[in-house]
Amino acid sequence: MALRLSVLAWLRLFRVFQKIDRRSVVHLRTLGLSTAQFDILARVGTTSGMTQQELADRLLVTKGNISQLLSRMEGQGLLKRCQDRRSNTLALTEAGQDLYRRAVPFQEDMIMQSFEGLSTDEVRTLLRLLDKLDHSLR
Amino acid sequence: MALRLSVLAWLRLFRVFQKIDRRSVVHLRTLGLSTAQFDILARVGTTSGMTQQELADRLLVTKGNISQLLSRMEGQGLLKRCQDRRSNTLALTEAGQDLYRRAVPFQEDMIMQSFEGLSTDEVRTLLRLLDKLDHSLR
DNA sequence: CAAAGACAGTTTAGCACTAAACCGTCTTCC
DNA sequence: GGAAGACGGTTTAGTGCTAAACTGTCTTTG
């Protein structure tokens, strides 16, 4: 792979990521959520009963980070920690589930809109290439 | 564009971005640089004489952020602020230029390696699709 | 059984970032 | 010429993140 082409591809990847990410941040803010909070809401919403460590592993962040974020979200009444032996299992509260049911489709819509500039075939190709790239990255 | 496909593409995009970004962070740390510092070093290294506001606009961050980062980097002797009317123009010091000359090829190499899993044609296709997507994002 | 280690979670220090308030200086325009 | 505003930069409060130290509980094993 040529240097110039790789660097261009990386810059473009970064730029696209950044643009969609920013949209997402603005979009989620209307629901009072940050990206990090949405990620947690979405994860715990689909898979209840996870421990904090499991959640951290799935989101690829540290358990320290999760600990802090959960404290705030628990304070806002979105979820509950239930102690179980030496670990905590996590579950959304009623309010959390309610927000989950609104936020997930809302966010999915935003993503769909972001990809409107490409045809189905193009998205399929993009997906295939990104998959290949992902796997080659160890 | 279908919902499921878009969401998959976004997750994949995010994952790939994250993986390369992490590599980059680890890689740059061996030079004692954070991503933010490298970005500034690279920008100021190629375009000397920018103001802080211009730099902020190019990197798409706030001038407040730039102000803080520059203070640290100036403290480390990597660059200088030269007051000019009511703005500051920026330039690398000797040490900064030296680091620049080492860091940029170093980083480019890392990027090239990251794309090794794809053929030249595949990278070209990826680039074309990302470009199209980028332009469609307003 | 008691010491050692493993493991889940919390805390702390520090960087990167934003938003908004703030401070100076230059410009404009009555 | 002086008030009003624009503009560049700094500061501050608050979020998100990491790394590493710390706390407490379970498990292993000599």
Look at B136 and A117 and tell me if their CB atoms are within 8 Å: yes
Is residue B51 helix, strand or coil? strand
Per-residue confidence at A138, pLDDT binned at 50, 70, 90?
Answer: confident
CATH class of A33-106: mainly alpha
Q: What is the arithmetic mean of pLDDT over A96-118?
A: 95
Q: Which of A115, A116, A132 to mutate to test the interface with B (most CBs of B within 10 A)?
A: A115
Burial class of B24 by CB neighbour count within 10 A (0 to 12, 13 to 18, 19+)? middle
Does 1.10.10.10 match the CATH number of domain B34-106?
yes
Give the domain ranges of chain B.
Answer: 34-106
**Chain C bases having any atom below 7 Å from a protein CB:** 7-13, 15-21, 24-26
CA distance A87 to B36: 36
CA distance B48 to B91: 5
**Which amino acid residue lies closest to nucleotide D23, measuring CA to C1'?**
A86
Nearest to B108 among A7, A133, A137 (CB): A7
Indicate the average pLDDT of chain A: 94
Half-sphere exposure of B89 (CA within 13 A, CB side): 6
Tens of pLDDT along B77-100?
999 999 988 899 999 999 999 999
What percentage of chain B reaches a pLDDT higher than 70?
Answer: 100
Tens of pLDDT along A12-63?
999 999 999 999 999 999 999 999 999 999 999 999 999 999 999 999 999 9
